Structure 1
Amino acid sequence: MSSVSQSFSENNSIVHPEYFFIIGLSGIPYSTYFYIFLFFIYIIAVIENSVVLFIIVVDRNLHSPKYIGMFYLALADFGETNALIPNIMKIFVFDSQYISYNACLANMFFVHFFSTMQSHTLVVLAYDRFIAICLPLRYHAIVNNTVMCVVFVGLWSFNGGVVVFVVSSITRLSFCKSNAVPSYYCDHGPVYMLACNDVSINYFMAKLCTALYVVAPLLFIVLSYLGIFLALSKITTWEGRLKALKTCVSHLLLVGSFFLPIICIYTAAFIVSVTPNTRVISTSLAYAVPPMLNPIIYVLNTSEIKDLIQKYLKKRSTRIESVSN
């Protein structure tokens, strides 16, 4: 990076690079297979989430609080997948680690924004299950379509404001050392650590976001399920308990696919020495795989969506047979 200083432009004593280099994936052995794997994850995730979004929009029977939550989670999955993986694939296809300064900030915003929405949507779905099981007689009074839409508009606005502040805090930093980002996208942490002036605000925001989007949501979900299990213990029959618990299975799987990889990665980092390649591969999969798994979980655990897909496929096959005859 001897030419880094030549690529910098200085404005009011703040030095912004014209571009960054995303180097997190450059040292991975057998990287071709990893890129191909990510490409298939991308295609599957886009198709699956598009199908879920389409089904929930067109079928009025699914315009209920539970499916509004599913819609916003699928939308967040769709957005994060498109914000993350195409930029990774660009590095592989065009052998170009280059990303302009403004494009880096945009990439940082969209990846962080949609991942925050994934986290908070799981919290809303946990609240929906908590009210449905613990306060079933008051469910429709507390949770309805209007309430869910207001909650999600509020969350998207709040999270958008937080992420805008996080990204804008990068613009006050001077980069006079290196413009090589040791990550697989323009992640806030690796980027601000390249700065050569005060990064205390960025450090604080990083810790705050960890609390807002990992610790607090997981704590709320755990407390919600403690309340749910307490309510289930009061049901006299095992059949009744299993029937109520079955409605939570899909949500528990969603929570596990989103939070468990993150917890395992950060726990492993404290216990053992994790190599940079291992960290990059594990974190990239933790971001990329859940958007692919979530629609599968919907289909496997939601009879309404399975029935709709089966009806559509039957109708389509009937049309094809009639045309061929």
Structure 2
Amino acid sequence: MTNASLALNPYITLTTFAIPRGAKYPILFLGLLLYLFCILCNATLLTVIVLHRNLHKPVYFILFSLPLNDLMGITAMLPKVLSGLFAEENRISYPLCVLQAFALHLYGGGILFILAAMSFDRYVAICMPLRYGLIMTPKTVVCVVALAWSLDFALVALLFSLQTGLPRCRSVIANVFCDNPSLLKLMCGDTSVNNAVGLFNTAVVQASSVSVQVFSYVKILITCLGMRRTDAKRKAVNTCVAQLLILIIFEIVGTFTILSHRFQNVSGDLQKVMGVLIFLISPLLNPLVYGLYTSEIRNTLLRALKHRIFV
């Protein structure tokens, strides 16, 4: 297909899963249930934090960004993937493809930056409890959240701005959704700079976010080992286990997905499934972990439900 024909027909064709026709409807049903469950849980977490003053604290202000990021990620990915199961030709306009890729990359970096901000808050709360109020002031919290979002947006914007000058000469993406590597494969110009910037962005996001979290949790562990009160030690550890769980699972799936594209013998469908899982893990687990595992949020939600039921 020539550049001229692409200009007249600005659509991108996405591949889909090799699924038997009889299995498509059950998968669609389960996918819709999963999507609605994630929307309901994350929206509930947002509502509880907003409406209850006892949750208007620095840690929950930072946590508020997590379901927002999750809702953006799963909405940008899952509806299009599910609709593609039944499309005779799974197509998407090029501008929407770029927008989807931008949102998904923003989501991926956002998870790591927000978890880093939350780990820093827990480090100050557990390791420097007497100075917590002086350090985590409303101004500081706003700056931390703004830094996480703005740095994430700047890195993604830089990555995608480099594509504007490249000519597009292909129209088929071997994936169920659009992302930057897939978009680069559509270009027929030199993409070495784009690849270098992509690796740089990945290194910056991983190095900065993971180093902050490793530093915070090592300090927390050392502090917990020196605590004499068993209940205080247990509470401090429980506070951090949830965040570590999300981080470890996200990193394992993400690493496997990246490595799977480096080996030719890995099934294409397996690569697609792992790619989709990256955008399902956080929206599915975060509201459950923070809603059920965090006692203050859990107790607030239970009180609100009891009030609705019995009043």
TM-score if structure 1 supplies the norm length? 0.86
Determine helix, strand or coil for the equivalent of 1:235: coil
- Kindly provide the CA deviation profile for residues 128-187 of structure 1, in whole angstroms up to 9, marking residues without a partner as x: 1111122121111111332111221232222222212222222222222x2111122111
Determine helix, strand or coil for the equivalent of 1:21: strand
Determine helix, strand or coil for the equivalent of 2:12: strand
C-alpha spacing 1:32/1:207, structure 2 compared with 1 (3 Å): farther
- Higher mean Cα deviation, 276-285 or 32-41? 32-41
Determine helix, strand or coil for the equivalent of 1:99: strand
- Higher mean Cα deviation, 265-274 or 234-243? 265-274
CA contact (8 A) 1:108 1:167 kept: no
1:292 to partner: Cα distance: 1.3
Q: Partner residue of 2:33?
A: 40
C-alpha spacing 1:21/1:270, structure 2 compared with 1 (3 Å): closer
Q: Partner residue of 2:284?
A: 292
Q: Partner residue of 1:27?
A: 18
1:261 to partner: Cα distance: 1.7
Q: Partner residue of 1:18?
A: 10
Q: Partner residue of 1:133?
A: 126
For 1:103, give the aligned amino acid. L
- Kindly provide the CA deviation profile for residues 50-91 of structure 1, in whole angstroms up to 9, marking residues without a partner as x: 111111111121111110111011111111111111221221
Q: Partner residue of 1:254?
A: 246
Identical amino acids, percent of aligned pairs: 27
Which ranges in structure 1 are unaligned for 5 or more consecutive residues? 11-16, 320-325
Determine helix, strand or coil for the equivalent of 1:295: helix
Q: Partner residue of 2:6?
A: 8
Residues in 2 aligned to 1:230 and 1:240: alpha-carbon distance in whole angstroms: 14
Residues in 1 aligned to 2:28 and 2:249: alpha-carbon distance in whole angstroms: 21
**2:55 is the alignment partner of 1:62:** yes
Residues in 2 aligned to 1:211 and 1:131: alpha-carbon distance in whole angstroms: 26
Q: Partner residue of 2:198?
A: 206
Within 5 A, what are the aligned runs for 1:137-216? Answer: 137-176=130-169, 178-216=170-208
C-alpha spacing 1:54/1:229, structure 2 compared with 1 (3 Å): same
Residues in 2 aligned to 1:163 and 1:230: alpha-carbon distance in whole angstroms: 36
Residues in 2 aligned to 1:160 and 1:146: alpha-carbon distance in whole angstroms: 21
- Kindly provide the CA deviation profile for residues 246-269 of structure 1, in whole angstroms up to 9, marking residues without a partner as x: 221222223234223213434566
Over the residues paired in the alignment, what is the CA RMSD in angstroms?
Answer: 2.3
Which ranges in structure 2 are unaligned for 5 or more consecutive residues? none
> In the alignment, which of 96, 109, 117 is matched to residue 110 of structure 2?
117
C-alpha spacing 1:222/1:154, structure 2 compared with 1 (3 Å): closer
**2:46 is the alignment partner of 1:53:** yes
CA contact (8 A) 2:117 2:148 kept: no
Q: Partner residue of 1:322?
A: none
CA contact (8 A) 1:258 1:286 kept: yes
Q: Partner residue of 2:77?
A: 84
TM-score if structure 2 supplies the norm length? 0.90
1:295 to partner: Cα distance: 0.2
Residues in 2 aligned to 1:167 and 1:98: alpha-carbon distance in whole angstroms: 21
How many residues align structurally?
309
C-alpha spacing 1:168/1:249, structure 2 compared with 1 (3 Å): same
